[in-house]
């Protein structure tokens, strides 16, 4: 049986190569394209296609459709929900956009740019910065993730509270549709109300409706002044109150507001051993606040006056404002290091949850209590983007219970957290998407009206279900 499948796969791959030439990879070279970011899953594929331009993407899509093969579009492989990893190796082809790396245009006068799907986010941000321009999407994976993947997953990150999700930064798209035709919508218009906005369908669709090959985006003036502070607080509710106050007092100039528990410092030092802590890890809660802007507003003064009044009122009990870019970077390293620290502790339960801001503190309290009541030896780590109601409530299993129980604890803690989440009308995926990993939890909660509408759209745009089959929703 395995022999047969292999034989079929090889034959299919050869037919693809005959049509598409040297953009087809097979054999051992495919391994890295069939693995997920965490390294938990290693899959396979009939072939990997590496097109260099939109025409080659289109040709690849047509060739796969003819052979009845599913296509898994792939960006920088930093996704966390298996959206870009094949789940039926003998029926699927990976199509990576990694060779489409042209920045087609940066227009400083228009505050816009056109970039291909395979451009790495950080590379684009750097290029824009050379012209005094700023692309505000900012996330941990920005050194690897690609703009096509960012748009396909509607990526979030740390600046959403000010600049919105990726969706709000997109002005236009070029998409290869399931029949190989090209949807050419690379406009840079700010206002364009010519009927239904079709590009919205592809943002967040994780490649299930077509393959995004290029993107037109908004740019902003590069913030010349950034004030970064790490603040000690008495509680998560105080953090939320501080956020509300910051919104009013700092106008729209707050660009990040991250919440962390004291354990974050320990985890960060486990993740990055030589990390310097700028503040004692002895308080119940911490907030990382960033205010930024260019031009005539005195950002440092604004931060100082904001903190002064917050300390007077007891909302902030201790804090440090970065005095240099190096110090600011060091503060952000804590936020990033805590992820690495969690990873070093081994397998754990990760979530990407959102609830209405007004219910965030209650949600965290109830969900953590629910977990600890059933699993007293586990450790809860809740942190995230307070301003968006987006919390990563993770659970580190009790390792003393032995290796075998870890998976059981992960499963159990996920169920406990999701049960609380459902009572709060929250989202099981605030920013990571659905992919294959969250599909069961997604579908289980999908109201019938919405399911029917999703299937109607999918059947209308991709009647053969060629595009990322197995991702988000199944055919039946």
Among 350, 385, 392, 436, interactor with a copy of itself by CB under 8 A: 385
Segments of 15-91 assigned E as strands: 24-25, 47-49, 70-74
Residue carrying the six token digits 């910065």: 129
d(CA 381, CA 165) in angstroms, rounded, equals: 24
Residue carrying the six token digits 């600890």: 372
Query: DSSP 3-state assignment of 451?
Result: helix
Which among 24-32, 60-68, 199-207, 282-290 is the span making contact with a copy of itself, rule CB under 8 A? 199-207
Asked if 457 is part of the footprint of a copy of itself (rule: CB under 8 A), the reply reads: yes
Find the shortest distance in angstroms from Cβ 114 to a copy of itself: 11
Binding-site size for a copy of itself (CB under 8 A) equals 96
Asked if 380 is part of the footprint of a copy of itself (rule: CB under 8 A), the reply reads: no
* String of contacts with a copy of itself for each residue 253-282, x by CB under 8 A: x-----------------------------
22, 188, 12, 185: which is closest to 99 by C-alpha? 22
* String of contacts with a copy of itself for each residue 208-247, x by CB under 8 A: xx----------xx-x--------------------x--x
Asked if 460 is part of the footprint of a copy of itself (rule: CB under 8 A), the reply reads: yes
Residue carrying the six token digits 């579908």: 443
Among 4, 39, 194, 404, interactor with a copy of itself by CB under 8 A: 194
Find the shortest distance in angstroms from Cβ 131 to a copy of itself: 12
Asked if 65 is part of the footprint of a copy of itself (rule: CB under 8 A), the reply reads: no
User: In the complex with a copy of itself, which residue's Cβ is closer, 226 or 349?
Assistant: 226
Please, are residues 386 and 243 in contact by the beta-carbon 8 Å criterion? yes
Asked if 347 is part of the footprint of a copy of itself (rule: CB under 8 A), the reply reads: no
Q: What is the dihedral sign for C-alpha 319, 324, 329, 330?
A: negative
Which among 58-66, 110-118, 313-321, 363-371 is the span making contact with a copy of itself, rule CB under 8 A? 110-118
Asked if 355 is part of the footprint of a copy of itself (rule: CB under 8 A), the reply reads: yes
Which among 193-201, 316-324, 338-346, 364-372 is the span making contact with a copy of itself, rule CB under 8 A? 193-201
Segments of 51-176 assigned E as strands: 70-74, 92-96, 103-107, 112-116, 133-134, 170-176
Q: What is the dihedral sign for C-alpha 20, 22, 28, 30?
A: negative
* Interacting residues with a copy of itself between 395 and 454 (CB under 8 A): 425-434, 442, 447, 449-450, 452-454
Asked if 130 is part of the footprint of a copy of itself (rule: CB under 8 A), the reply reads: no
Asked if 96 is part of the footprint of a copy of itself (rule: CB under 8 A), the reply reads: no
Among 73, 86, 389, 470, interactor with a copy of itself by CB under 8 A: 389
Among 156, 271, 337, 397, interactor with a copy of itself by CB under 8 A: 156
Find the shortest distance in angstroms from Cβ 50 to a copy of itself: 25
d(CA 470, CA 457) in angstroms, rounded, equals: 16
According to DSSP, residue 388 is labeled G
Among 248, 324, 326, 402, interactor with a copy of itself by CB under 8 A: 248
Segments of 311-430 assigned E as strands: 318-321, 353-354, 379-385, 390-396
Please, are residues 188 and 174 in contact by the beta-carbon 8 Å criterion? no
Query: DSSP 3-state assignment of 462?
Result: coil
Burial degree of 297 (CB within 10 A; 0-12, 13-18, 19+)? middle
Among 1, 28, 296, 326, interactor with a copy of itself by CB under 8 A: 296
d(CA 179, CA 191) in angstroms, rounded, equals: 29
Asked if 58 is part of the footprint of a copy of itself (rule: CB under 8 A), the reply reads: no
Among 8, 42, 131, 200, interactor with a copy of itself by CB under 8 A: 200
Q: If you count them, how many residues does the chain have?
A: 476
User: Which DSSP string do the residues of 414-437 spell out, in sequence order?
Assistant: HHHHHHHHHHTT-BS-SSS--TTT
Asked if 188 is part of the footprint of a copy of itself (rule: CB under 8 A), the reply reads: yes
Which among 38-46, 47-55, 57-65, 181-189 is the span making contact with a copy of itself, rule CB under 8 A? 181-189
User: In the complex with a copy of itself, which residue's Cβ is closer, 159 or 269?
Assistant: 159
CB atoms within 10 A of CB 304: 13
Chain CA centroid to CA 289, Å:
20
Among 5, 65, 103, 177, interactor with a copy of itself by CB under 8 A: 177
Asked if 293 is part of the footprint of a copy of itself (rule: CB under 8 A), the reply reads: yes
Asked if 79 is part of the footprint of a copy of itself (rule: CB under 8 A), the reply reads: no
d(CA 270, CA 146) in angstroms, rounded, equals: 29
Find the shortest distance in angstroms from Cβ 189 to a copy of itself: 5
């Amino acid at each position: 049986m395995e022999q047969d499948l292999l034989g079929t796969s090889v034959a299919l791959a050869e037919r693809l190569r005959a049509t598409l030439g040297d953009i087809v990879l097979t054999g051992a070279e495919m391994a890295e394209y069939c693995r997920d970011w965490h390294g938990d899953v290693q899959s396979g594929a009939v072939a990997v296609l590496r097109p260099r331009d939109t025409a080659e993407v289109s040709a690849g899509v047509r060739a796969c459709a003819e052979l009845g093969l599913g296509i898994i579009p792939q960006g920088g492989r930093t996704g966390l929900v298996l959206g870009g990893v094949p789940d039926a190796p003998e029926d699927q082809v990976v199509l990576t956009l990694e060779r489409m790396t042209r920045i087609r245009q940066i227009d400083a006068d228009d505050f816009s740019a056109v970039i291909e799907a395979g451009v790495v986010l950080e590379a684009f941000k750097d290029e824009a910065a050379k012209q005094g321009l700023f692309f505000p999407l900012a996330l941990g994976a920005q050194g690897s993730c690609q703009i096509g993947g960012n748009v396909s997953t509607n990526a979030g990150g740390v600046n959403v509270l000010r600049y919105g999700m990726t969706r709000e930064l997109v002005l236009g798209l070029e998409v290869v549709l399931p029949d190989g035709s090209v949807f050419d919508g690379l406009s840079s218009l700010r206002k364009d109300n010519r009927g239904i906005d079709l590009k919205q369908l592809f943002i967040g669709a994780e490649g299930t409706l077509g393959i995004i090959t290029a993107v037109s985006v908004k740019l902003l003036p590069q913030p010349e002044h950034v004030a970064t502070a790490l603040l000690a607080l008495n509680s998560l509710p105080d953090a939320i109150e501080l956020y509300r106050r910051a919104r009013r007092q700092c106008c729209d100039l707050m660009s990040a507001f991250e919440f962390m528990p004291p354990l974050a410092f320990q985890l960060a030092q486990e993740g990055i051993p030589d990390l310097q802590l700028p503040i004692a890890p002895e308080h119940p809660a911490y907030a990382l606040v960033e205010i930024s802007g260019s031009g005539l507003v005195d950002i440092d003064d604004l931060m100082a006056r904001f903190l002064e009044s917050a300390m007077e009122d007891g909302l902030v009990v201790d804090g440090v404002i970065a005095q240099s870019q190096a110090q600011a970077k060091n503060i952000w390293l804590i936020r990033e290091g805590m992820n690495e620290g969690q990873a070093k502790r081994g397998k754990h339960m990760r979530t990407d949850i959102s609830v209405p801001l007004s219910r965030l503190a209650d949600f965290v309290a109830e969900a953590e209590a629910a977990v600890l009541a059933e699993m007293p030896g586990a450790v809860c780590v809740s942190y995230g983007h307070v301003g968006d109601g987006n919390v990563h409530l993770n659970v580190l299993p009790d390792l003393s219970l032995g290796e075998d129980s870890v998976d059981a604890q992960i499963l159990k803690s996920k169920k406990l957290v999701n049960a609380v989440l459902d009572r709060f009308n929250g989202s099981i995926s605030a920013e990571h998407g659905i992919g294959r990993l969250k599909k069961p939890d997604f579908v289980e909660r999908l109201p019938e009206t919405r399911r029917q509408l999703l299937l109607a759209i999918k059947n209308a745009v991709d009647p053969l279900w060629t595009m990322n089959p197995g991702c988000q929703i199944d055919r039946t």
